[in-house]
């Protein structure tokens, strides 16, 4: 038998070990009985923790809990006598010690506000960033993980990145598989399918089903806000562009929302309180979602203040949750104040997407649009596709970890 050293002599208590609550550690036990070794799935639920989930003994990083610290698990029904212990990895303890050091609840926004990986920008900020990093070359993107990581990092920080010299071979051969699908799968990403198809064409056509397929000026917007879960990342590959006009425009909506909050907090508040309706009622589809233009304190948002923005005037339907004259007037004024900021000339980054250019952007952050063009002056043909933001973040996390080694 080991001689038991009193916890207090080790600088620990029954409730707190290594600066971490003993119950939290029991819940997070990484042993093969608590986390399945091959599936890596948790076998005990937080609700199964009992009052005995305190520390009975500690030796270095090894913690033993009181008998019956969990009532049941996915592999054993009765654990009432189980004296459970586990030796934690010191890096695991160090990583989570910090979480408890502040003592603040994350729902109070303390963690959400700090260390946002996003760098909010005006047009000139983005232009400066782009001239420093220069666009990624297609050959490098598909052959080098370092180039891919750089693209993903730019997508996370600025929500917008360009790739140059992308082949346009399929432009004249509709039977050829789109280059865009090949690029996306070479990036290790999965295309998000929808009723628009795995990839879709942006060309001006007669009787278009979507405003994007006309030659009209297409104001700043986000795509697919009438979906329950809109795709986070959009790709647009320019195959042909010989028309007069039709420049592509991009704007950081987080920057604009942050400016609105600083300049007109009451309008900002209105946009967080009165939801807007988005719909797609055409071509055999009937889809609808209500969304607040701005939300805050979403712990899953990487943006400052846990912000999210949903803005897409061309896809708005009749407002359904604005029910008084007063609310309607407040919404109009608040939207006008937001749009006044969007219209400032230093906000919009404008670029002519020559054939062979590919733009990748965060659809739920960076607003995109297109200036009007003269359809008779030439041809304009872009190929588009979406991937989920999850797919982008997954690739970014794994590549960052692997390339650091
Ligand atoms: Zn365990």
Q: How far is the CA of 340 from the centre of ligand 1 (A)?
A: 56
Q: Would strands 160-164 and 136-137 be described as parallel, antiparallel, or unpaired?
A: parallel
Residue 76 burial (CB count, 10 A): 12
Residue pLDDT, tens place only, 274-301: 999 999 988 899 999 999 999 999 999 9
Q: How far is the CA of 24 from the centre of ligand 1 (A)?
A: 12
Going along the chain from its start, the domains and CATH numbers come out as: 7-101 (no CATH), 123-404 (3.60.130.10)
Q: How far is the CA of 36 from the centre of ligand 1 (A)?
A: 10
Give pTM, 2 decimals.
Answer: 0.86
**Which range, of 89-103, 169-183, 317-331, averages the lowest pLDDT?**
169-183
Residue 42 burial (CB count, 10 A): 16
Q: How far is the CA of 287 from the centre of ligand 1 (A)?
A: 46
Q: Which two tokens stand for residue 119?
A: 């760098």
Q: Which two tokens stand for residue 225?
A: 């806000």
Q: How far is the CA of 98 from the centre of ligand 1 (A)?
A: 22
The share of the chain scoring above pLDDT 70, in percent, equals: 91
Q: How far is the CA of 156 from the centre of ligand 1 (A)?
A: 36
Q: How far is the CA of 60 from the centre of ligand 1 (A)?
A: 17
Does the pLDDT of residue 401 top 70, yes or no? Answer: yes
Q: How far is the CA of 70 from the centre of ligand 1 (A)?
A: 10
Does the pLDDT of residue 4 top 70, yes or no? Answer: no
Q: How far is the CA of 93 from the centre of ligand 1 (A)?
A: 15
Taking residues 149-175, report their average pLDDT: 88
pLDDT given for residue 108 in this prediction: 47
Mean per-residue pLDDT of the chain: 89
Q: How far is the CA of 85 from the centre of ligand 1 (A)?
A: 7
Q: How far is the CA of 42 from the centre of ligand 1 (A)?
A: 10
* HEC assignment per residue over the chain: CCCCCCHHHHCCCCCEECCEEHHHHHHCCCCCCCECCCCCCECCCHHHECCCCCEEEEECCEEEECCCCECCCCCCCCCCCCCCEEECCHHHHHHHHHHHHCCCCHHHCHHHHCCCCCCCCCHHHHHHHHHHHCCEEHHHHHHCHHHHHHHHHHHHHHCEEEEECCCCHHHHCCCCCCHHHHHHHHCCCCCECCCCCCCEEECCCCCCCCHHHCCCCEEEECCCCCCCCCCCEEEEEEEEECCEECCEEEEEHHHHHHHHHHHCHHHHHHHHHCEEEEEEEECCEEEEEEEECEECCCCCCCCHHHCEECCCHHHECCCCCCCCHHHHHHHHHHHHHHHHHHCCCCCCEEECCCCCCEEEEECCCEEEEECCEEHHHCCEEEEEEEECHHHHHHHHHHHHHHHHC
pLDDT band at 111 (very low <50, low <70, confident <90, very high): very low
Query: Helix 145-158 and helix 123-133: axis angle, to 10°?
Result: 170
Q: How far is the CA of 88 from the centre of ligand 1 (A)?
A: 10
Cα distance between residue 301 and residue 128, in whole Å: 26
Does the pLDDT of residue 3 top 60, yes or no? Answer: no
Residue pLDDT, tens place only, 218-228: 899 999 999 99
Q: How far is the CA of 97 from the centre of ligand 1 (A)?
A: 19
For 324, residues 6+ apart whose C-beta sits below 8 A from its C-beta are: none
Q: How far is the CA of 64 from the centre of ligand 1 (A)?
A: 10
Taking residues 213-242, report their average pLDDT: 91
Q: How far is the CA of 348 from the centre of ligand 1 (A)?
A: 53
pLDDT band at 75 (very low <50, low <70, confident <90, very high): confident
pLDDT given for residue 109 in this prediction: 45
pLDDT given for residue 110 in this prediction: 44
Q: Which two tokens stand for residue 134?
A: 């220069």
pLDDT band at 1 (very low <50, low <70, confident <90, very high): very low
Q: How far is the CA of 17 from the centre of ligand 1 (A)?
A: 16
Contacts 24+ apart (CB under 8 A), 6-14: 7/55, 7/57, 7/58, 10/58, 12/55, 12/58, 13/55, 14/54, 14/55, 14/56
pLDDT given for residue 209 in this prediction: 63
Q: Is the dihedral of CA 201, 205, 211, 212 positive or negative?
A: positive
**Which range, of 35-49, 102-116, 163-177, 370-384, averages the lowest pLDDT?**
102-116
Q: How far is the CA of 74 from the centre of ligand 1 (A)?
A: 12
Sheet holding 160-164: strands in order across? 136-137, 160-164, 358-362, 233-241, 380-387, 200-202
Q: How far is the CA of 396 from the centre of ligand 1 (A)?
A: 30
Q: How far is the CA of 34 from the centre of ligand 1 (A)?
A: 4
Q: How far is the CA of 397 from the centre of ligand 1 (A)?
A: 27
Does the pLDDT of residue 130 top 90, yes or no? Answer: yes
Residue pLDDT, tens place only, 241-269: 998 999 999 999 999 999 999 999 999 99
Cα distance between residue 381 and residue 60, in whole Å: 64
Does the pLDDT of residue 358 top 90, yes or no? Answer: yes
Instruction: Please state the length of the chain.
Output: 405
* Nearest to 296, CA basis, from 272, 331, 270: 272
Q: How far is the CA of 7 from the centre of ligand 1 (A)?
A: 20
For 272, residues 6+ apart whose C-beta sits below 8 A from its C-beta are: 292, 293, 294, 295, 296
Q: How far is the CA of 87 from the centre of ligand 1 (A)?
A: 9
Q: How far is the CA of 107 from the centre of ligand 1 (A)?
A: 28
Q: How far is the CA of 394 from the centre of ligand 1 (A)?
A: 27
């Amino acid at each position: 038998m080991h001689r038991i050293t009193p916890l207090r002599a080790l600088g620990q208590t029954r409730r707190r070990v290594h600066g971490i609550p003993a119950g939290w550690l029991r819940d997070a036990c990484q042993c093969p009985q608590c986390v399945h070794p091959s599936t890596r799935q948790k076998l005990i639920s937080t609700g199964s923790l009992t009052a005995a989930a305190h520390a009975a003994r500690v030796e270095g990083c090894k913690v033993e809990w009181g008998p019956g610290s969990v009532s049941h698990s996915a592999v054993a029904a009765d654990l009432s006598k189980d004296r459970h212990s586990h030796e934690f990895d010191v890096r695991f303890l160090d990583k989570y010690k910090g979480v408890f050091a502040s003592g603040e609840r994350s729902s109070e926004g303390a963690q959400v506000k700090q260390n946002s990986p996003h760098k909010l920008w005006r047009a000139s900020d983005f232009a400066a960033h782009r001239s420093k990093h220069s666009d990624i070359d297609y050959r490098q993107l598909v052959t080098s993980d370092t180039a891919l990581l750089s693209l993903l990092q730019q997508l996370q920080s600025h929500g917008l990145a360009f790739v140059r010299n992308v082949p346009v071979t399929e432009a004249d051969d509709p039977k050829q598989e789109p280059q865009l699908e090949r690029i996306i799968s070479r990036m290790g990403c999965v295309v998000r399918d929808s009723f628009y198809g795995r990839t879709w064409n942006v060309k001006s056509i007669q009787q278009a089903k979507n405003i994007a397929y006309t030659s009209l000026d297409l104001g700043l917007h986000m795509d697919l806000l009438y979906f329950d879960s809109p795709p986070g990342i959009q790709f647009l590959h320019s195959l042909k562009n010989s028309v007069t006009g039709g420049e592509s425009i991009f704007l950081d909506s987080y920057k604009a929302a942050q400016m609105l909050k600083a300049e007109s907090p009451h309008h900002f508040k209105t946009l967080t309180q009165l939801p807007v309706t988005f719909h797609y009622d055409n071509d055999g589809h009937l889809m609808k979602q209500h969304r607040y233009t701005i939300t805050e304190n979403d712990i899953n948002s990487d943006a400052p203040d846990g912000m999210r923005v949903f803005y897409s005037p061309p896809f708005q339907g009749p407002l359904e949750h604005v029910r008084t004259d007063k609310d309607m007037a407040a919404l109009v004024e608040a939207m006008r104040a937001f749009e006044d900021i969007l219209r400032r000339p230093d906000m919009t980054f404008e670029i002519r997407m020559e054939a062979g250019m590919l733009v990748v952007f965060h659809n739920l952050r960076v607003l995109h649009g297109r200036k009007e063009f003269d359809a008779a002056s030439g041809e304009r043909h872009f190929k588009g596709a979406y991937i989920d933001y999850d797919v982008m973040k997954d690739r970014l996390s794994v590549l960052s970890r692997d390339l650091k080694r």
